[in-house]
């Protein structure tokens, strides 16, 4: 009889934002090591907004809902516990985009990437050095090409992408970095931990005026993570020839309300460039990104708050909070 492991699955098909009660943690036999592949003993799993739409079959590029008995998708870090390929040895630390909610994952060698955990918590490879960090770097350094003197605005600024993006803009010598976030606690993290120059709490009275006051000279670069409404507001503060990167619409993923239109006249008048970003296009540049970011992590110049639980019991509740945007920083489950 094989040893058991636990796996998180969805109980039934979903037509709305997933909730904790939609998830069951079930027992399964541990997987065998596949020919030419490995088994990873997972030590931390990332909780990300895209999984909410992925489970409902509404994620761009992967339109089918996740089959009911399959592990809920998640990126993960862990150690090789069995290998049938010489490139990986037992005990190697790896990151995989295919981890899923389970204790052990049997994977083809192409799905795992060795990570250097020297001097850092391996779980950093789920946040700053993981997919959210790669996304922030792709948006700020590669798509918007932030340069010295730029004024940068970022929403969902307390989150893993937004928080990392602001710190990367700082490393690229941006002149001023302003965040937008939902709530005083989030804003305190944005200014005190991530060292943005200002953060506007959009749950407060008169926040649009506060935003205008925080951007007296306008902005050159905007990173949109939340909604078309915020994008339009950012465009209104943009200086001529500014750039906006459309990264996510977390505020709209689970609503059936049609998104507001983008005002073409404003874009023309601002001579603005609007750029979409899909992180899959940057998966082959993880080494280049890590070379840039890992020294900043080790020196303490790149940090992200963590909102985590340990063990399966509390994972569904954190997943629900994360999808509602109630977490701060990188949401993850430690196993």
Ligand X SMILES: NC(=O)c1ccc[n+]([C@@H]2O[C@H](COP(=O)([O-])OP(=O)(O)OC[C@H]3O[C@@H](n4cnc5c(N)ncnc54)[C@H](OP(=O)(O)O)[C@@H]3O)[C@@H](O)[C@H]2O)c1
Contacts with ligand X, residue ranges (CB under 6 A): 48-50, 131-132, 135, 156, 158-162, 181-182, 186, 225-226, 247-251, 277-279, 324-325
Nearest to ligand X of 226, 272 (CB atom): 226
Nearest to ligand X of 247, 293 (CB atom): 247
Nearest to ligand X of 158, 297 (CB atom): 158
Nearest to ligand X of 54, 170 (CB atom): 54
Nearest to ligand X of 82, 171 (CB atom): 171
- Give the nearest distance from C-beta 328 to ligand X in angstroms: 8
Burial grade of 156 (CB within 10 A; 0-12, 13-18, 19 or more): buried
Nearest to ligand X of 48, 103 (CB atom): 48
- Give the nearest distance from C-beta 48 to ligand X in angstroms: 5
Cβ within 8 Å of residue 191, ≥6 positions away: 179, 197, 198, 199
Cβ within 8 Å of residue 72, ≥6 positions away: 8, 9, 10, 23, 51, 55, 66, 100, 101, 319
Residue whose C-alpha is closest to residue 197's, from 157, 248, 242: 157
Q: 244 near 267, Cβ under 8 Å?
A: no
Nearest to ligand X of 82, 181 (CB atom): 181
Dihedral of the alpha carbons of 152, 153, 154, 157, in degrees to the nearest 10: 100
- Give the nearest distance from C-beta 43 to ligand X in angstroms: 20
- Give the nearest distance from C-beta 160 to ligand X in angstroms: 4
- Give the nearest distance from C-beta 86 to ligand X in angstroms: 33
**What is the β-pairing status of strands 37-46 and 93-96?**
unpaired
Q: 229 near 262, Cβ under 8 Å?
A: no
Nearest to ligand X of 49, 78 (CB atom): 49
Residue whose C-alpha is closest to residue 127's, from 175, 162, 153: 162
Q: Output DSSP code: residue 38.
A: E
Cβ within 8 Å of residue 1, ≥6 positions away: none
Nearest to ligand X of 184, 301 (CB atom): 184
- Give the nearest distance from C-beta 32 to ligand X in angstroms: 33
**Two structure tokens written together for 207:** 């926040």
- Give the nearest distance from C-beta 269 to ligand X in angstroms: 26
- Give the nearest distance from C-beta 266 to ligand X in angstroms: 22
List of E strands, 208-291: 219-224, 238-246, 273-276
- Give the nearest distance from C-beta 47 to ligand X in angstroms: 9
Q: Kindly give the residue spans of alpha helices, DSSP state H, lying in 89-241.
A: 131-137, 160-171, 184-188, 207-214, 228-236
């Amino acid at each position: 009889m094989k040893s058991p492991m636990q796996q998180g699955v969805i109980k039934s098909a979903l037509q709305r934002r997933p909730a904790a009660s939609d998830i069951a943690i079930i027992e399964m036999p541990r997987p065998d090591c596949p020919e030419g592949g490995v088994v990873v003993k997972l030590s931390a799993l990332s909780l990300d907004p895209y999984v909410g739409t992925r489970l409902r079959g509404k994620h761009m590029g992967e339109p089918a809902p996740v089959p009911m008995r399959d592990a809920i998708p998640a990126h993960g870090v862990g150690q090789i516990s069995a290998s049938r390929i010489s490139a990986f040895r037992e005990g190697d630390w790896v990151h995989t985009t295919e981890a899923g909610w389970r204790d052990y994952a049997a994977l083809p060698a192409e799905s795992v990437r060795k990570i250097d955990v020297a001097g850092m918590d391996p779980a950093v490879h789920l946040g700053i050095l993981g997919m959210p960090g790669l996304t922030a770097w792709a948006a700020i350094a590669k798509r918007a090409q932030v340069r010295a003197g730029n004024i940068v605005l970022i929403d969902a600024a307390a989150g893993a992408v937004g928080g990392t993006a602001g710190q990367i803009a700082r490393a690229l010598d941006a002149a001023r970095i302003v965040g937008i976030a939902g709530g005083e606690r989030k804003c305190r993290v944005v200014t005190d931990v991530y060292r943005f120059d200002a953060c506007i709490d959009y749950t407060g009275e008169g926040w649009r005026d506060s935003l205008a006051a925080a951007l007296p000279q306008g902005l050159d670069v905007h990173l949109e993570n939340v909604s078309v409404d915020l994008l339009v507001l950012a465009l209104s503060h943009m200086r001529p020839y500014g750039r906006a990167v459309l990264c996510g619409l977390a505020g709209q993923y689970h609503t059936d309300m049609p998104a507001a239109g983008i005002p073409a006249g404003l874009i023309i008048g601002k001579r603005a460039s609007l750029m979409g970003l899909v992180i899959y296009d940057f998966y082959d540049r993880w080494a280049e990104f890590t070379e840039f970011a890992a020294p900043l992590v080790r020196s303490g110049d790149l940090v992200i708050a963590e909102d985590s639980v340990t063990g399966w019991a509390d994972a569904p509740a954190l997943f629900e909070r994360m999808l509602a945007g109630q977490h701060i920083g990188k949401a993850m489950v430690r196993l």
